[in-house]
Amino acid sequence: MFDRLRHKWKVGGLQLFLILCTFATGGSLTGIAGKKIMNLLGLERSIGWFILYIVLITLLWPMAVLLVSVFFGQFRFFTGYLYKMARRLKLIPPAPAVRNIAIFASGAGSNAQQIIRHFAGSRQVKVALIVCNRPGAGVLSIAANAGIPVLMIEREKFYRGNGYVDELQQARIDFIVLAGFLWKIPSSLIQVWQRRIVNIHPALLPLYGGKGMYGHHVHQAVIHAKDPESGITIHYVDEHYDNGDIIFQARIPVHPTDTPASLAARIHALEHQHFPRIIEGLLAP
């Protein structure tokens, strides 16, 4: 029985002993307090007395157990335990289902890092997988440091196979984020995750989008055209490069002294500021 409880609660032997002591002491305290309160009420023993007593100890027991758990160092366990009980009894609404994100990235992973940080403490959204097509990419170190699984993909299977749909479904991915991912997304993925794949582009689409328009190529084109402003575009992904419906844009002025590197730095700041927030909004219940 004790081994079953240890596995069920995922605790060691000492903690199991302290938990059982908390249950026993909290139960005794509940009974004592319940009888004292009933004596103070001065009611005669009857069926109504017993019904009232049962209701009273039912209300007193959680408070008594929580109080005792502090002294046994098990307060965190019992807050979780009572929360689960309340959910089973439907006394509180069920927790919203966790939405699993897969981040596709090909490079250093600065946007992936910001998204991981943003959702690190979330109970509703989890970065569950990093998908990468380049061995040695910086995003792989970010994933390792965050303890996030990595799926390395190769071109043949991505385009001529099923686009790794099976692997993504096995990881229970609900939403796909492209964060500096340079390959075009195949229709096999788009069909399964329709309007659940988003990309960020370092320009104001529909300007400076399409095949080959990524990174410094975009910023060079903006400066060469002497555009007064640039920015970022967050959009849904369809079968064409940088073509899906626009979700959000943010703008910054292009200075006469800007170089592709200086413009890229300010664009990156915009991406880090807005991308995690927009993803959170799209995943809100």
Q: Residue 95 — pLDDT band, cuts 50, 70, 90?
A: low
Mind listing the pLDDT tens digit for each residue in 216-234?
899 999 999 999 999 999 9
As beta bridge partners, residue 151 has 131
- Per-residue CA distances from 285 to 64, 78, 90, 114, 178 (Å): 35, 28, 20, 22, 21
Mind listing the pLDDT tens digit for each residue in 138-189?
999 999 999 999 999 999 999 998 899 999 999 999 999 999 998 999 999 9
93 by DSSP, 3-state: which? Answer: coil
Query: Does the bond joining 206 to the residue before it have cis omega, within 30 degrees of 0?
Result: yes
Greatest Cα pair distance, the chain, in angstroms, is 93
Residue 224 annotated in active site: no
Q: Which of 4-13, 111-120, 194-203, 276-285 has the lowest mean pLDDT?
A: 4-13
Does the pTM exceed 0.85? Answer: no
Neighbours of 202 (CB within 10 A): 24
Q: Where are the domains of the chain?
A: 2-88, 99-283
Provide the 8-state DSSP code for 74: -
Average model confidence (pLDDT) across the chain = 91
pLDDT at position 200: 96
Does residue 236 have a pLDDT over 80?
A: yes
Neighbours of 126 (CB within 10 A): 16
Q: Residue 241 — pLDDT band, cuts 50, 70, 90?
A: confident
For the domain made up of 99-283, the CATH class stated in words is alpha beta
Catalytic choice (7, 118, 201, 217): 201
